[in-house]
Amino acid sequence: MTPRDLVAVTGANGFLGARLTRHLLERGHGVRALVRAPESCALEGVELRRFHMPAGIDAGSLEGAKLLIHCAATTRAKDRIGAEDVDELGSTRLFDAARAAGVERIVFLSSLSAHADALSHYGRSKCAIEAALDPQRDVALRLGLVLSRGGGGLFGRMVQWVGGMRVIPVFGGGTQPVQPIHEADVRRALDAVIERGVTGVLALADPAPIPFRDLLQEIARRLGRTCRLVSVPFAPALAAARVAERLRVPLPIGSENLLGLKAQKFVPCADDLTQLDLCLRPLAESLDDVLGALPERA
């Protein structure tokens, strides 16, 4: 691709999609933002087209684009199973429309939790969407926990959680391995994928995981908070989260997050990072950047 080639981005006004859209503009690409409500989209310098899954997909909105970056995921389904159906059917229709419109490559933002046997609907759905890609020309980027300034995403909810609670429940002692990645490194990875023509499935995250409880403590230290982590059994925590969701009580970490954490395992990333010639910034540096550096000790 040349810098002036047109890139179509779904979910371009979402947490990560908006950041990637701005980055593509800065790199000189033309960007066509495919969003549910163009009239309320605040992005500047982009061409806006209406898009929603699974029915509102127009192949004409993809014509002329060399690359499609698929960031969109539904947040409007009544339950996670409904969301899974919308995301999988919508993504399959989107990919078919992209190929019919002559789009050369598709980049799908997936997750380290993507697995056919994942406990969460989210993880199984991401895996099913990956299977609809062409491994000879497309790429799925399995992202770890994305760290970014200004909130947004699961990390943003974790920061709010730690900042607002003195006692934080964790299950299993909070030993689950978490593999973060700074949002700027996601942008660098996207550049490498575009420039190198890489295909297939790539895992993008810190190759050195940190236990979930340690990450919470690192967040607390940077927020100047003192919090106590209390281990709770998984089954009651999941049941409580599901009751809260049925009652529409907002939670920083929901049932899908809990299921994802329960199944969380270390995912080797070093070879994929080497393929992209990408060296991720250390976790401490990433946290300093997004939350503020710890005061120096006397």
- pLDDT, one tens digit per residue, over 115-143 is 999 998 889 999 999 999 999 999 999 99
CATH code at position 138: 3.40.50.720
With CA atoms as reference, report the closest residue to 212 among 280, 265, 148, 152. Answer: 265
Residue 119 domain-assigned (yes or no): yes
> How far, CA to CA in Å, does 37 sit from each of 11, 16, 74, 89, 99?
10, 17, 13, 20, 24
The number of domains in the chain is 1
Residue 45 domain-assigned (yes or no): yes
pTM: 0.92
Q: What is the pLDDT of residues 192-238, one digit of tens each?
A: 999 999 999 999 999 999 999 999 999 999 999 988 999 999 998 89
Q: What gap in Å lies between CA 206 and CA 270, rounded to an integer? A: 8
Q: What is the pLDDT of residues 34-69, one digit of tens each?
A: 998 888 888 889 999 998 887 878 888 999 999 999
Q: Range of 187's domain?
A: 6-144+181-206+267-281
Q: What is the pLDDT of residues 12-29, one digit of tens each?
A: 989 999 999 999 999 999
- Per DSSP bridges, beta strands 177-178 and 210-211 are antiparallel
Residue 97 domain-assigned (yes or no): yes
Helices and strands counted in the chain (H then E): 10, 13
Residue 48 domain-assigned (yes or no): yes
Q: Residue 233: how many CB atoms within 10 A of its CB?
A: 11
Residue 113 domain-assigned (yes or no): yes
DSSP state of 261: H
Residue 290 domain-assigned (yes or no): no
Sheet arrangement for strand 105-111: 47-50, 30-35, 6-10, 67-70, 105-111, 139-143, 200-204
Residue 121 domain-assigned (yes or no): yes
Q: What gap in Å lies between CA 255 and CA 240, rounded to an integer? A: 9
CB 227 within 8 A of CB 220: yes
Rounded to 10 degrees, the C-alpha dihedral 21/25/31/35 comes to 30
Residue 51 domain-assigned (yes or no): yes
